[in-house]
Chains A and B, each alone.
Chain A
Amino acid sequence: MATIVKSYEPTFWDKLYLPALMRGLIVTFRHFFRKNVTIQYPDQKHIPPEGYRGLHRLNKYPEGRIKCVACEMCSAACPADCIHIIPGPSPWDGGKERYPVRFDIDLLRCIFCGFCEMACPEEAIELTEIYDFSDYTRDDLVIDKEGLLEVYDLTKDQNYYTKKNLSKASSVNTSIDT
């Protein structure tokens, strides 16, 4: 059975457009007095919540030795296969005879799942709150060991964005236990 759909015939008030305009402006003005939801990035930075998974870092012991022992658990766990490690005999004395000669993470491949952090038996790799690390070339977005250690220095005792000091409890500087 066919249905006959009557098309809507605009009335005089509709054709005036004024009531609709007013209704729209009411919404606009209502929001005018409410709190902003957007921020003025990049002048103003978004502060990610705790547990946010951003740029990686490689932790160090207070003595300066890199915590990573190049066991490649992280690269085995990584679903994006973006961690590339070249191990070598460690130049430091006392236990932990292995360390990464090279440690590269391809940040463009990384999906920031945090599996590397979970897999690491040495608590050496961690994801930080840093999210704005764009660059101009693909090569520049492969972060190397030096870069990752630099991120550690930037984030070890303060939040990268708020610059607020981290409480003692959450800092991870335990010393070498072998």
Chain B
Amino acid sequence: MPLLKIDGKEIEIKSGTTVLQAAEANGIEIPYYCYHPALEIVGSCRMCLVQVEGMPKLQVSCNTFVSDVSSDRKVDGKYDMVVHTQNDLVVQERKNILEFLLLNHPLDCSVCDQAGECYLQDYSFKFGNAHSRFDENKRVRPNEFLGSQIVINHNRCIMCSQCVRFTQEISGTSELFVEARGYNSKIAVLEDNPLDNLLAGNVADICPVGALLSTDYIHKNRIWNLKKQPSVCQDCSVGCNVDVFSQTDQILRLTARENLDVNGYFMCDIGRYGFHRYEEIDRVLQPMVRKGDSFVSADWETAIQKTIDLIKKNKSNTAGIVSPFHTNESNFLLGQIFKDVLGSLPPITGEEITYPSGFRISADRSPNTRGMNDICEGIVEDLASKIKTQDIRTLFILDDGVDRKLDDKWKKIIGKMDSVIVLSYAMTDLAKLAHVVLPGHAPLEREGTITNDKGRIQWLRPSLPVKVESKPDWEILMLVRNALDKKTEHFVELGEVMKKMGEKFENYAGITFFKVGNQGYSINGKSS
């Protein structure tokens, strides 16, 4: 393996890595704009210049590869390469590059949505000049829409071309290109081919400056006001890792979080903008009990008691319906209560899309189908006919939430029941048919584990504060279970439910939040 010396630090690293990667892996900072680990190297921004001994000019570290050299060419008899990232020449060069990049930049940080997470700001502060010597008029261009959700502010663009490479290599749709040359170059789209693919939102994320903006977040807030919560997207069974940005009880935006075993660095727009559908819903925030044609709110004790009464009335003719939208823990607890008949409603599907880079949007638009099937033994295939043959009179349903549109067949089946208990966060079609509605947590408030279609257990973390009287789903189910059977164990926290689950299902043995962590844990014991 080649031996490298960067700023006096000896580093041994695989031949074929770049100097930039070697430095980054060893905690040495080299600033860069155009390099992105998932994209082709172009070396166009020149921010990553370093000095390599024996080379006449400064080198772009993102495109300089480390390799073994013959022994007579080794520096000091042992180093294959000696690199300086902090000497006067490099420091001065960085200043110059930044001055170039900022020549036409409007310096409008006060109205720019990238402010606070902008690499121009950070690097200017750390490596740049305090003043510009540019006296001429700046080049000014109006903002343009590149697609329905993406706006470009040309003045702020530094031409790193990450967005162009993204559409070429990751989405494979090639909408973006660099128009014209030199001083006149700019990012453009053809009029009849706007940037409207399902991965378009990512270009706003990868843009290191505030040039590409999502219309969904523009002028909405400032980044330092927002709370950032690592979590998992719940809009398809891939389970992309995301960061959820919220302020008090409002979600402002979602961005992709790096997880090479699941989604790489990106996410799709279905998940990115999906949180809006929870905004204007008819939330249930108190237990509701049916009185004739309408509901009256009740306290938890009454509601649970009512639930127990309804279940006990036809104990042997009761079925539980689990949901691929709920966590493993909730499904597990429901499965433990209704061991005899357990089913789920028909799956919610969409179009399966796979991009050339391998990025996937799954046809299964629920996050936890795999986990539900793993955790609930004996889910009946055809629930509708089972209900008929077994003469089921009572249903306890974990509601799929706002995505579930009940068809007439199911409306009829559920309408015919003696009693229906629904655990839901909103007054959905299903909840409207219920006799008791138990208010649980909405998708972005939930905590627990979900398992993606490749068998990776991931930690779903609550991004919003708990509302009024709603309780965590697992806690409601535990209350019901305890009330039905006084002898069952009482869990005080989610970890205990997970432990219990692990005892029952080998694949889930030993799972803890700590073990699952930010990157998830594969059931197969290796990365999937």
Q: Chain A residues in contact with chain B, CB under 8 A?
A: 69-73, 76, 87-89, 96-98, 121-122
Chain B, 242-266, contact with A by CB distance < 8 Å: what is the 0/1 string? 0000000000000000000000000
Closest to B225 in A: A72
User: Once the chains bind, are A73 and B110 in contact (CB under 8 Å)?
Assistant: yes
| A73 cross-chain contacts in B, Cβ below 8 A | 110
Contact B218 A122 (CB under 8 A): no
Q: Let me know if B409 is at the binding interface, CB within 8 A.
A: no
Asked if residues B110 and A122 are in contact (CB atoms below 8 Å), the reply is yes
Least distance between A78 CB and chain B CB atoms (Å): 12
List residues of chain B with CB within 8 A of the CB of A69: 110-111
CB pair A88 B222 closer than 8 Å: no
Q: Across the interface, do A71 and B222 meet the contact criterion of CB distance under 8 Å?
A: yes
Q: Does B224 contact A (CB under 8 A)?
A: yes
Docked CA distance A87–B225 (Å):
12
A72 near B222 (CB under 8 angstroms)? yes
- Chain A residues near B219 (CB, 8 Å)? 70, 87-89, 97-98
Q: Is B221 an interface residue (CB 8 A)?
A: yes
Q: What CA separation (Å) do A89 and B218 show in the bound complex?
A: 8
In the bound complex, do residue A87 and residue B220 qualify as a contact, i.e. CB atoms below 8 Å apart? yes
Which residues of B (367-421) have their CB < 8 Å from a CB of A? Answer: none
What chain A residues lie within 8 Å of B218 (beta carbons)?
A: 89
| Chain B residues near A97 (CB-CB < 8 A) | 111, 143, 219
B 106-140 to A, binary, CB cutoff 8 A, 1 in contact else 0: 00011100010000000000000000000000000
Q: How far is the CA of A89 from the CA of B143 in the complex (A)?
A: 13
In addition to A71-B222, A73-B110, A89-B218, 6 A-B residue pairs with Cβ atoms within 8 Å of each other are A70-B219, A71-B111, A71-B115, A87-B220, A88-B219, A97-B219
Chain B residues bordering chain A, tally (CB within 8 A): 12
Could you tell me the distance between the alpha carbons of A19 and B111 in the complex, rounded to whole angstroms?
A: 75
Chain B residue with Cβ nearest A87: B219
Contacts of A98 in B (CB 8 A): 110-111, 219
| A70→B112 CA distance, assembly (Å) | 10
Chain A to chain B contacts (Cβ below 8 Å), 10 pairs: A69-B110, A71-B110, A71-B111, A71-B115, A87-B219, A87-B221, A88-B219, A96-B111, A97-B219, A98-B111
* Distance to closest chain A CB from B202 (angstroms): 23
Q: Nearest chain A CB to B352's CB is how many angstroms away?
A: 37
Which residues of chain A have C-beta atoms less than 8 A from B109's C-beta? 71
A65 nearest CB across to chain B (Å):
13
- Give the complex CA separation of A98 and B219 in angstroms: 7
Report the minimum CB–CB distance from B513 to chain A (whole Å).
32
A contact residues around B111 at 8 Å (CB) = 69-71, 96-98
Against A, the Cβ 8 Å flags (1 = close, 0 = not) of B347-358 are: 000000000000
B130 CB to closest chain A CB (Å) equals 15
Nearest 4 Cβ contacts at the A-B interface: A71-B110, A98-B111, A72-B222, A89-B219
Most chain A CB inside 10 Å of its own CB: which residue of B218, B219, B222? B219
Docked complex Cα distance between A70 and B220 (Å): 10
* Residue from the list B143, B221, B224 in contact with A76, Cβ < 8 A: B224
Bound complex: CA of A98 vs CA of B111, how far in Å?
Answer: 6
Roughly how many angstroms separate A82 CA and B218 CA in the complex, as a whole number?
Answer: 24
Interface centre among B109, B110, B220 (most CB of A within 10 A): B110
Q: Which residues does chain B contribute within 8 Å of A121, judged by CB atoms? A: 110
State how many angstroms separate the Cβ of B214 from the closest Cβ of chain A: 14
Considering the complex, give the chain B residue whose CB is closest to the CB of A72. Answer: B222
In whole angstroms, what is the CA distance A102 to B220 when docked?
12
Return the chain B residue nearest A86 by Cβ.
B221
| A-chain residues with CB within 8 Å of residue B221 when the two chains form the complex | 87
Contact with A along B448-481 (1 / 0, CB 8 A): 0000000000000000000000000000000000
Bound CA span A101–B202, Å = 28
CA distance in complex: A101, B347 (Å): 43
For the complex, what is the distance from the CA of A78 to the CA of B192, rounded to whole Å?
48
Query: How far is it, in angstroms, between the C-alpha of A63 and the C-alpha of B219 when the chains are bound?
Result: 23
Q: In the complex, which residue of chain A has the Cβ closest to the Cβ of B153?
A: A97
B residues near A70, Cβ cutoff 8 Å: 111, 219
**Interface set, chain B 134-156, CB cutoff 8 A to A:** 143
Shortest CB–CB separation between residue A115 and chain B, in angstroms? 16
**Neighbouring B residues of A87 by C-beta, 8 Å:** 219-222
Residues of B within 8 A of A122 (CB): 110
Most B CB contacts (10 A, CB to CB) among A72, A73, A122 go to A72
A70 to chain B: closest CB distance in Å?
8
Contact with A along B97-112 (1 / 0, CB 8 A): 0000000000001110
Shortest CB distance B109–A (Å)? 8
From residue A77, how far is it (CB to closest CB) to chain B in Å?
Answer: 11
What's the Cα separation between A106 and B436 when bound, in Å?
A: 44
Shortest beta-carbon distance from B523 to chain A in Å: 45
Task: Tell me the complex Cα distance, A69–B109, Å.
Answer: 11
Residue of B nearest to A96 (CB): B111
Give every chain B residue within 8 A of A72 (Cβ-Cβ): 222, 225
- With both beta carbons as reference points, the residue of chain A lying nearest to B220 in the complex is identified as A87
In the bound complex, how far is the Cα of B115 from the Cα of A34, in angstroms? 60
Q: In the complex, what residue of chain A is closest to B110 when comparing beta carbons?
A: A71
Interface residues of B in 173-229 (CB under 8 A from A): 218-222, 224-225
CB distance from B310 to the nearest CB of A (A): 46
Q: How far is the CA of A99 from the CA of B224 in the complex (A)?
A: 18
The distance in angstroms between the C-alpha atoms of A88 and B221, with both chains bound, is 9
Q: Which of B225-243 contact A (CB under 8 A)?
A: 225
